Every structure is written in structure tokens, then in C-alpha cells.
């Protein structure tokens, strides 16, 4: 625990973002009652996605922010992209927006679809 967190109650962004393996991610989203978001482009999403995922393109900043503002910030958000790079950037953005728990898929959709 950092000194800042211990003395001032500050939470670091890394405390709010977790990366799960394909197996753990699949178990976590089982049942479908989660905020599951694919942050790839619409074209990538149409080529294949995880069942139940909502597509919110990371590169469309205006609609990205507006879409996430409508979501429950106290409930975990499960993100993925193609490889894990964009979803990590998206996770950091969501923490700045006030989301408490962001879960990322290790290796992204590429790992999921293998």
C-alpha cells in the first residue's frame, strides 16, 4: 500500500483495473448480467465479438464518453479489444471518469477467439 493511500485514502488507478485470463474472464461474464464492452471499431466488432458485448469504439471520443456516462460506475465494466492495448487505454480513461472496477481480457479478442 502506498503512503498516499494509507494516509490520505487515495486510490491509484492500477487498484481499479484488473486483467483476467481468458478462462477467468469467461467465468466472470458467464450469465450475461455484466457491463461487457468491446472497444474495437464497428468493423472489427462485426467481424466477430463476445456474445452480449456492446460496441463502444475507443477512437470515437465523443460517443465513447457519452456511452460510458450512461453506465453504472459502481458496477464492474468488462472490456476487451483486439489485443489488449486499446482496452488498457480505455480502462485508464474509465477510471478517470469515475468507474470503480474495470476488468480487461488478457490478450483481447484475439486470445478469446483462439
Q: At 76, which CATH number? A: 3.40.250.10
Torsion of CA 99, 102, 108, 114, to 10 degrees: -140
What pTM value is reported for the model?
0.87
Q: Is 68 part of any domain?
A: yes
pLDDT digit string (tens) for 27-61?
A: 999 988 999 999 999 999 999 999 999 999 999 98
Could you list the residue range(s) of the whole structural domain that residue 95 is in?
12-112
Q: How far apart are CA 48 and CA 72, in angstroms?
A: 26
Residue holding cell 483462439?
A: 114
73 is a domain residue: yes
Helix (H) or strand (E) holding 52: none
Total domains in the chain come to: 1
Identify the pLDDT of residue 13. Answer: 56
Question: Does any domain span residue 6?
Answer: no
The answer to whether residue 45 sits within a structural domain is: yes
SS3 97: helix
7 falls within a domain: no
**H/E stretch holding 29:** helix 22-29
DSSP assigned state of 79: E
Amino acid at each position: 500500500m502506498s503512503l498516499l493511500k494509507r494516509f490520505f485514502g487515495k486510490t491509484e488507478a492500477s487498484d481499479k483495473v484488473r486483467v483476467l485470463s481468458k478462462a477467468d474472464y469467461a467465468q466472470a461474464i458467464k450469465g450475461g448480467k455484466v457491463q461487457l464492452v468491446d472497444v474495437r471499431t464497428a468493423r472489427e466488432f462485426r467481424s466477430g465479438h463476445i456474445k452480449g458485448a456492446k460496441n463502444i469504439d475507443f477512437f470515437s471520443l465523443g460517443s465513447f464518453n457519452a456511452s460510458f456516462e450512461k453506465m453504472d460506475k459502481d458496477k464492474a465494466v468488462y472490456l476487451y479489444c483486439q489485443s489488449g492495448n486499446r482496452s488498457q487505454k480505455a480502462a485508464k480513461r474509465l477510471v478517470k471518469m469515475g468507474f470503480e472496477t474495470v476488468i480487461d481480457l488478457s490478450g483481447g479478442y484475439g486470445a478469446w477467439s483462439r
